[in-house]
Structure 1
Amino acid sequence: MSLRGTREVSKNYQIFRLTGLLDAFSEPAFRKVIGNCIDEGPKDVVLVLSQIDFIDSSGLGALVQLVKQAQTGGGSLQVVTNPRVTQTVKLVRLEKFLSLQPSVDIALENLKK
């Protein structure tokens, strides 16, 4: 599989640290796994994409769906990026909607209380 990751769950939030490619090949499993975890809770989520080598339109679409899912459940989703991911997201003007953050610490501070 082209995408790997770990999940860390605390009382109020969960953090996913992902590596590899977030593309059309990995997107269905990514969306299903993260979506199920959002449903299980906690509802506030930090996706750490700083080790992602590539993201395509399928990956961006999955991120948009996951943000909406978290918000519908009363939570939020923060995305920690690297320059490559940030550039791709900015091309489609989703940087504010996807709550791009430079670090996990800042993302945690920005989670809804």
Structure 2
Amino acid sequence: MSLRGGFEQQAHCQLFRFTGQLDAYSDKQFGEFIASHRSAGQPLVVDLSHIDFIDSSGLGALVQLAKQCTADDQPFVVAGNPRVVQTVKLVRLEEFLHLQPDLKSALAHIAS
């Protein structure tokens, strides 16, 4: 299964939604999709709650995005599902990625 992305401009954030697999075959697609829609300033929410699989390449893509947002002083948060949360916690990146367990929590976190 490939990665599919969607973008939605909301009143208080830029929302990126992904489904499928975030892995070595799709990490470049992930980065390019976000780069093509992302604008500076407004907070960014990456919804991975419908991701079926994430590997080290996918985690690397998230780390690169986090570094870009930090360098641009752009707030960001990642929403996961139990599988994504477990993988991110395994490598102890939950704080660095501002990981939230679901989209509702992520939107509440970014709005506060």
Give the C-alpha shift of residue 85 in structure 1: 0.7
Contact 1:51-1:82 at 8 Å conserved across structures:
yes
TM-score by length of 2: 0.88
Segments of 4+ moved more than 6 angstroms:
none
Equivalent residue, structure 2, for 1:76: 75
Aligned to 1:93: 92
CA distance in 2, matches of 1:42, 1:10: 13
Aligned residue pairs: how many?
Answer: 112
How far apart, CA to CA, are the structure 1 residues paired with 2:50 and 2:93?
Answer: 19
Pairwise CA distance, 1:12: 3.4
- Runs of 5+ consecutive residues of structure 2 not aligned to the other structure: none
Within a 5 Å distance, the mapping from 1:2-17 to structure 2 comes to 2-17=2-17
Residue of structure 2 equivalent to 1:45: 44
Q: Name the TM-score, length of structure 1 as normaliser.
A: 0.87
CA contact (8 A) 1:44 1:75 kept: yes
- Equivalents in 2 of 1:73, 1:56: separation in Å? 26
> For residue 26 of structure 1, what is the amino acid of its counterpart?
S
